[in-house]
Amino acid sequence: MNTRNLILFAGVAGLFVLTGFGWSWNLALSILNMALLSSIMAMGVNMQWGYAGLFNTGVMGFTALGGLAVVVTSARPVAEGWAAGGWTILFSLFLGAATIATAIFLYNRMPKGRPRALTVAAVLLVGLFVFRHFFDPAVAAVEAFNPATYGNIGGLGLPALVAWPVGGLLAAAAAWAIGKTALGLRSDYLAIATLGIAEIIIAVMKNEDWLARGVKNIIDLPRPWPVPYEVALQQNETFLGMAASWGFNPVTGSTITVKLLYAGLFTAVLVLVILLSELALKSPWGRMMRAIRDNEVSAAAMGKDVTRRHLQIFILGSAVIGIAGAMMTSMDGQLTPGTYNPLRYTFLIWVMVIVGGSGNNWGSLLGGMLIGWLWLIVEDLGPGLMGLITSGMADGWLKSHLIDSAQHMRLLTLGVVLLLVLRFSPRGLIPEK
């Protein structure tokens, strides 16, 4: 940490303080929480790109899987849904997995040629029909139960904090499967492949209503310990007493308290991630990782198993993204698959990594906080600002169009910021040491 970096961080902190004083602390804290989550995601991407040179454009998918984990882990179980077909669904999913495993096994074991192709195809086809035979009616049964409120199997009803590591695990499992198939590919093929997988994950989450109600959304997910509900706080005697003695409005105070607690939790996770990845980076493992990134051929020639290392870091980075995704869904209290958008959840994170400085955790943190702030502040203040700019104009089509489109300015702005950084400071604000 040198003076320059300290000034940069102080500057970003200043932006948040300014937001607090200038507009509201509520807004400043909302932005802070999202920025913290984005920073953690940026660190996950940074592990993959900065340490290993893996071009993952499926960030959105891992984020969403983290969100799904929250539902699966901490949502209240829907006993009727389970009874209607939960076990059959699980059984058919197992059948599906077994089919794919058999096909892969046969593919690896049988000699190359027409018989192998036909057998594998036959196994897959039969497997698909058997799978659909059990799966379809079970899904219909589950989704038939009280579709306005449920129509799904619900979760395990475990505490929300448990869901965070589960989010990491779910993302890691997906990353393992993706890595096994796609990591051998060239860098831009990997990018296309991960982009596609992310879209598929979102498609599954939107359409498999039995799982998490799809686009009908799941709401009222439990809050993680120790975050209370605002309503509960407002009725809490101690809290009201504090509000009275310190002289703040209990309603505003309660929302700010909740947000502060989230910020504390997120910061704890963030510090843990930074600590662990800095330690890992300085270990022999981290040095080897960078050696592989800088010269894959010579690292392979020295007997390093490049693909295996890549798989490791791909899984680790994706797990970090998954944890952040779970935390985000926990904070929102709801899972809304329709809101996942690659521009926001994949490419924005990439901008954070590049602008902050790839290969450097502190850079990702700075980039996440700065770009996160920029993105959200424009969302909240853009229309007002545009209103101010256009206040001299006559009311009419153009004025209302400009005010409406203010929020799209941020895409443009971010694109320009990314291009400027790439051109004039390609190593980012805090370059790798």
Residues that bind another protein (CB under 8 A): 53, 55, 128, 136, 181-182, 185-189, 191-193, 195-197, 199-200, 203-204, 206-207, 341-343, 347, 350-351, 354, 401, 404-405, 408-416, 418-419, 422-423, 426
Shortest approach of another protein to residue 68 CB, angstroms? 16
Of the pair 104, 300, the CB lying nearest another protein is at: 104
- Cα gap 206→198, rounded to integer Å: 12
Of the pair 136, 278, the CB lying nearest another protein is at: 136
Angle of CA points 190, 192, 193, to nearest 5°: 60
Of the pair 162, 204, the CB lying nearest another protein is at: 204
Shortest approach of another protein to residue 196 CB, angstroms? 4
- Cα gap 329→181, rounded to integer Å: 29
- One-letter identity of residue 116: R
- Cα gap 424→419, rounded to integer Å: 9
Shortest approach of another protein to residue 47 CB, angstroms? 17
Of the pair 83, 416, the CB lying nearest another protein is at: 416
Shortest approach of another protein to residue 40 CB, angstroms? 21
> Distance of alpha carbon 106 from its chain centroid, rounded?
35
Task: Find the distance separating the first CA and the last CA of the chain, reported in whole Å.
Answer: 11
- Cα gap 158→172, rounded to integer Å: 20
- CB burial of residue 414 (10 Å; 0-12, 13-18, 19+): buried
Of the pair 143, 230, the CB lying nearest another protein is at: 143
Shortest approach of another protein to residue 353 CB, angstroms? 10
Shortest approach of another protein to residue 323 CB, angstroms? 25
Q: Write a three-state SS string for 297-310.
A: HHHHHCCCCHHHHH
Of the pair 156, 185, the CB lying nearest another protein is at: 185
DSSP at 221: P
- Cα gap 68→60, rounded to integer Å: 12
The per-residue b/e assignment along 361-370, b for 16 or more CB within 10 angstroms, e otherwise, is bbbbbbbbbb
Shortest approach of another protein to residue 187 CB, angstroms? 5
- Smallest CA-to-CA distance from 351 within 416, 267, 278, 409 is with 416
Of the pair 193, 370, the CB lying nearest another protein is at: 193
